[in-house]
């Protein structure tokens, strides 16, 4: 097998192994790590079709994580995708209302982030051993709602690690917030910031870029890494479920081997749909990648015009994990569309930082033709949740609702009936208030857990363990700060 190496999208670092890139999380120049090429799948779909999720995961991940031994990688996969998932398939497909909903929320925190964050602690601790790391690894993460809980659940009490999560106060659902602030684990810390997700993400990147602070941490025996999708160790596991979904469609006779599919993804930070693009580049027959946005439609506008412009109002919506105006992972696609020209990519990222916008060249825009943008307003999202439930009895969450609505509009506009997989990124229980409002009207005077019990009756799906656990859980984290105080908060938490 050819050894891949990793380099920064901004050019100052190259030649890293997969384990080194996973340990670092973010490159020293602020860029994101990318493999020097995207490998092709080396197992035929006919063979993948008969495999378990764990077996497919190995066949995909071995191609990217080439310095992990077979034994190491299988250990990581086996311990990640186990009984913490409440279905044997790990990522089941549900056919409803003319599409295939890929349920990515059967892990311990009922959101798609579990798919990658269940394995990241194992990949990272294995990487630390491989690279003889003596320091304690401090995972620093910004979350728009789901990454924080999934990362903490993965890293809680993992020896040699600490995890600090920043989230926007008032910018996540109550269930998301409760999941985070009740998190157990001696090595976990949660801080709510007085700002939005972009403020949190920018603050985390600033801390990574502060060389002086990094030296201070190293002096005390700490080194930083990230559990956000900026970490390549988050992105690679996400490729797996798209390959698995295609193989299962073939196995179930829904499509023939080689038939194209479309993939629709509700998108905020661009990692989930980028993983689908990687799957296509690996040889999966994907026709169109439909990028679904909510009212924060910066990505929709980008695919329409070639201009990325974050200078706009930040809108709080019922799909908070998508309330993002700076989509970090888009940088990886920009880098690819520039033919891996790190100078060109760096220039565009400088423009984004300085002026809040950049424009790609017509040649780069031409290379983005696999993508099609769409967006759903709050009203359209609620109507879609109501429509799917009314037609099929199937209840979807507010993020899946955005994707489902955008897909419906795409079919109406294009007439394209290619079989389509919709990434269903969270359990409706995570956004029970908004979901029940969409399905049966006003919920404003109801207690959150009374709404959850109503949702159980409506959906016929038992209340997940992740929700039952927080019903009476003790609140353990109540730290708050302004975005400018994030580095200070990290220093206090680590006792510097």
Compute φ and ψ for 175, nearest 5 degrees: -65, -45
Question: Can you tell me whether residue 285 is helix, strand or coil?
Answer: coil
C-alpha torsion sign, points 384, 389, 394, 395: positive
CB-CB neighbours of 266 under 10 Å: 32
Contacts of 372 (CB under 8 A, 6+ apart): 288, 289, 290, 291, 303, 410
Q: Is 95 a catalytic residue?
A: no
Quote the CA–CA distance of 291 and 473 in Å, as a whole number: 37
How far, CA to CA in Å, does 81 sit from each of 55, 117, 160?
A: 11, 10, 22
Query: Of residues 24, 62, 113, 149, which has the active-site annotation?
Result: 113
Compute φ and ψ for 416, nearest 5 degrees: -75, 110
H helices within 85-188, ranges in order? 113-117, 120-130, 147-155, 174-181
The end-to-end CA distance of the chain, in Å, is 44
C-alpha torsion sign, points 230, 232, 237, 243: positive
How far, CA to CA in Å, does 436 sit from each of 365, 383, 385, 455?
A: 40, 12, 9, 7
Closest CA to 270 of 224, 334, 357, 316: 334
Torsion, Cα 403 406 411 413, to 10 degrees, reads: -170
Compute φ and ψ for 373, nearest 5 degrees: -90, 150
Contacts of 466 (CB under 8 A, 6+ apart): 108, 109, 110, 179, 427, 429
Q: Residue 496: how many CA atoms within 13 Å on its side-chain side?
A: 19
Rg (CA), the chain: 21
Bridge partners of 96? 99
Closest CA to 6 of 57, 65, 58: 65
> Sheet harboring 420-424: ordered strands across?
93-96, 99-103, 420-424, 261-266, 286-293, 371-375
Q: Is 376 exposed, middle or buried (0-12, 13-18, 19+ CB in 10 A)?
A: buried
Question: Can you tell me whether residue 446 is helix, strand or coil?
Answer: coil
Bridge partners of 94? 101
What is the set of active-site residues?
Answer: 113
């Amino acid at each position: 097998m050819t050894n891949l190496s990793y380099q920064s999208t901004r050019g100052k670092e190259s030649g890293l192994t997969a384990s080194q890139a996973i340990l670092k999380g973010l490159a020293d120049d602020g860029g994101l790590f990318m493999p020097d090429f995207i490998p092709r799948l080396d197992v035929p779909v006919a063979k993948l079709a008969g495999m378990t999720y764990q077996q497919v995961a190995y066949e995909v991940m071995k191609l990217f994580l080439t310095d992990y031994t077979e034994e190491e990688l299988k250990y990581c996969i086996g311990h990640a995708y186990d009984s913490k998932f409440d279905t044997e398939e790990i990522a089941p497909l549900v056919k409803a209302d003319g599409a295939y909903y890929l349920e990515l929320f059967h892990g311990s925190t009922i959101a798609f982030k579990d798919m990658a964050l269940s394995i990241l602690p194992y990949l990272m601790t294995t990487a630390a051993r491989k690279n003889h790391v003596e320091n304690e690894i401090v995972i620093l993460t910004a979350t728009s709602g789901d990454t924080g809980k999934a990362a903490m659940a993965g890293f809680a009490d993992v020896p040699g690690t600490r995890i600090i999560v920043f989230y926007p106060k008032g910018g996540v659902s109550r269930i998301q917030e409760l999941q985070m602030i009740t998190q157990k684990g001696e090595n976990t810390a949660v801080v709510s910031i007085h700002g939005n997700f972009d403020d949190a993400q920018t603050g985390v990147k600033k801390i990574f870029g502060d060389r002086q602070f990094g030296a201070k941490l190293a002096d005390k025996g700490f080194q930083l890494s990230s559990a956000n999708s900026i970490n390549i160790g988050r992105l690679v596991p996400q490729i797996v479920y798209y390959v698995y979904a295609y193989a299962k469609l073939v196995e179930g006779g829904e499509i023939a081997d080689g038939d194209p599919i479309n993939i629709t993804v509700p998108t905020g930070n661009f990692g989930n749909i980028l993983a689908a693009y990687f799957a296509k580049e690996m040889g999966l027959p994907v026709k169109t990648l439909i990028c679904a946005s909510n009212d924060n439609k910066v990505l929709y506008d980008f695919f329409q015009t070639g201009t990325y412009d974050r200078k706009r109002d930040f809108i709080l919506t019922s799909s908070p994990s998508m309330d993002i105006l700076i989509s970090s992972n888009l940088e990886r696609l920009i880098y690819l569309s520039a033919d891996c020209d790190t100078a060109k990519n760096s220039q565009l990222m400088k423009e984004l930082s300085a002026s809040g916008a950049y424009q790609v060249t017509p040649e780069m825009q031409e290379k983005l033709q696999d993508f099609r943008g769409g967006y759903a307003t709050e009203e359209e999202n609620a109507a879609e949740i109501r429509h799917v439930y009314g037609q099929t009895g199937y209840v979807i969450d507010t993020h899946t609702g955005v994707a489902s609505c955008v897909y419906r509009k795409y079919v109406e506009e294009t007439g394209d009936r290619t079989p389509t997989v919709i990434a269903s990124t969270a359990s409706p229980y995570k956004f029970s208030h908004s979901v029940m409002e969409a399905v049966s009207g006003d919920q404003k005077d109801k207690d959150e857990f009374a709404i959850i019990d109503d949702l159980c009756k409506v959906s016929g799906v038992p209340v997940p363990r992740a929700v039952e656990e927080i019903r009476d859980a003790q609140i353990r984290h109540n730290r708050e700060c302004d975005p400018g105080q994030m580095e200070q908060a990290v220093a206090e938490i680590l006792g510097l």
